[in-house]
Amino acid sequence: MPSTWTLLRIGETTAHDPDLGALVAGLRNHLAHDGLASCLVQIGAAQRAYVALQGCPRCATGRCSVGCRVELLRRTLRAALGEQVTLTLVKRGLDPLGYRRMLWAWPMSPSAQPLSGELLAGWPRARMAVHWRRGGARRQVSALVCLGGTDGPDMVARLRAHGWASLEAPAVAHRWLVNPFGPAAQWCGAAVAGEPWLLLPAREPDGATLSAEASASGEPAEAPEEAR
Ligand SMILES: [Zn+2]
């Protein structure tokens, strides 16, 4: 992740009827000017969603400069997911530990389907990062899926069912891939058509968002650590 990028956690929302039109419009506008990374961390049944984007020098103070992309994204998320949704600065990156397998993934054709948190279901520990390059109608997108804990479902088959090819990263490359926002994590990109999307936590059948594992303690399930 370039040092000028800002990592933020998308707070949980119980909105049953997200305004996807508002989300798409905001993302389209963002990607016309800049890139965007979207990341989902899963521990047990809990998922947390993050975004990384170019912010302004005042993001850390909570008083962004006029036109700051973080503030614009915050407004987009509120319009799409409800006023209560939060976008919180994560100062030290994500915990890089606990992943045994890492897969690069990219769309096999422009009609590839969006990825979502449901892809990670059944894995005790997993992380998926998607990178959108700045662009217009056909935007370049790439993904990195990291898997940990005991074995889970066949991720290669799941990605293929969504129209995504994948390549297992050799163990020697893992050290460059623990940072989901680094250049190595964006290695395999391909164009995709259709509207841009963000990784959001998977929803339970009744529409409720999965609660974070450690929410009762108020501490993050995945302790923020410096991404190396
Ligand atoms: Zn800002």
What does each of the 228 residues of the chain score in pLDDT, given as a tens digit? Answer: 444 678 999 988 766 677 889 999 999 999 999 999 999 999 988 999 999 999 998 888 888 999 999 999 999 999 998 888 999 999 888 887 789 999 999 999 999 999 999 999 999 999 999 999 988 778 899 999 999 988 899 999 999 999 999 999 999 999 989 888 888 888 888 999 889 999 987 765 454 444 333 333 333 444 443 333
Amino acid at 7: L
The counts of H helices and E strands in the chain are 4, 9
Give me ligand 1 centre to Cα 86, in Å.
14
Can you give the pLDDT at residue 15?
65
**CA of 57 relative to ligand 1 center, distance in Å:** 6
Ligand 1 midpoint to CA 100 (Å): 35
User: Is residue 70 one of the residues assigned to a domain?
Assistant: yes
Cα separation, 138 vs 156, whole angstroms = 24
Q: Three-state SS for 70?
A: helix
Domain membership of residue 197 (yes or no) is no
How far is ligand 1, taken at its centre, from the CA of residue 177, in Å? Answer: 27
User: Ligand 1: distance of its center to the CA of 58 in Å?
Assistant: 5
- The confidence score (pLDDT) of residue 217 equals 32
Residue 148 included in any domain? yes
- Domain count along the chain: 2
Residue 225 is assigned to a structural domain of this protein:
no
> In terms of domains, do 133 and 180 share one?
yes
Same domain? 70 vs 110: no
**What is residue 204's predicted lDDT score, i.e. its pLDDT?**
57
Which residue segment(s) compose the domain that 188 sits in?
A: 101-192
Span from the CA of 77 to the centroid of ligand 1 (angstroms): 15
How many angstroms separate the CA atoms of 196 and 24, rounded? 6
28 part of a folded domain: yes
> Is the same domain home to 74 and 116?
no
- Kindly give the distance from the C-alpha atom of residue 143 to the centroid of ligand 1, in angstroms, as a whole number: 25
Same domain, 85 and 105: no
Strands (E), the chain: 5-10, 36-43, 46-54, 87-89, 101-107, 125-132, 139-148, 164-168, 190-192
